[in-house]
Homo-oligomer: A and B are copies of this chain.
Amino acid sequence: MTDMEQPEDIQNQTEETEAAEGSPTVEEQLETALAERDENQNRFLRSQAELDNTRKRHQRELAELRQYAAAPFVQAMLPALDNLKRAVEAAENADNVSDLKQGVEMVAKQILDVFAQHNVKAIEAVGQPFDPNRHEALQQMPSEEYPPMTVIQELEQGFILNDRVVRPSKVIVSSGPAGN
């Protein structure tokens, strides 16, 4: 009986861990499992190293982008600056205020064009409902023309970059007809 028990026991273990005949022994399975465990550990470590490198590269890229982000905008602004200097130089030799004025107006328009090319746009103000997210009310005044809480005058132009306010418009807001 004891002679028979041993083989039976082994037979049972073999059936538990082996799917088919010719399948690996427990020792072989252990060897495989240890190799897989080590391989998985290595894959984990390589992945962690890659994560680390990715984060470092990310930081470098962000720093570089921040440092040079303004370059295209600066570059686009330079011709306006050139024209401003030219307008002043031309005025040296002329006593005509209207020529200089015209030159300067063109530069102002040029700057607004550069803004537009970089998705910077003036905020609509006069006639618009007062919007505290885009307008800064400096004053409220009666108005026959505009309903209450409508912008009636723009004191300083505001601008948005894409959907973000760069500077709100400084405005005067209607308090409705003076009689009310």
Which A residues contact B (CB, under 8 angstroms)? 3, 6, 13, 17, 26-27, 29-30, 33-34, 36-37, 40-41, 43-44, 47-48, 50-51, 54-55, 58, 61-62, 65-75, 77-78, 81-82, 84-85, 87-88, 91-92, 94-97, 100-101, 104-105, 107-108, 111-112, 115, 118-120, 156-157, 159, 161-162, 164, 166-167
Residues of B within 8 A of A97 (CB): 91, 94-97, 100
Q: Nearest chain B CB to A19's CB is how many angstroms away?
A: 14
- Out of B26, B44, B156, which one reaches A43, CB within 8 Å? B44
> In the complex where A43-B44, A47-B44, A54-B51 touch, is A167 in contact with B111 (Cβ < 8 A)?
no
Q: Which B residue's beta carbon lies closest to that of A16? A: B27
9 intermolecular pairs with C-beta atoms under 8 Å apart: A40-B41, A40-B44, A50-B51, A62-B62, A65-B65, A70-B120, A77-B77, A82-B156, A96-B97
Bound state CA distance, A70 and B119, in angstroms? 10
Q: Which B residue's beta carbon lies closest to that of A90? A: B101
Sorted nearest first, the 5 A-B pairs with minimum C-beta distance are A69-B69, A40-B40, A33-B33, A47-B47, A37-B37
A33, A36, A115 — which one has the most chain B CB atoms within 10 A of its CB? A33
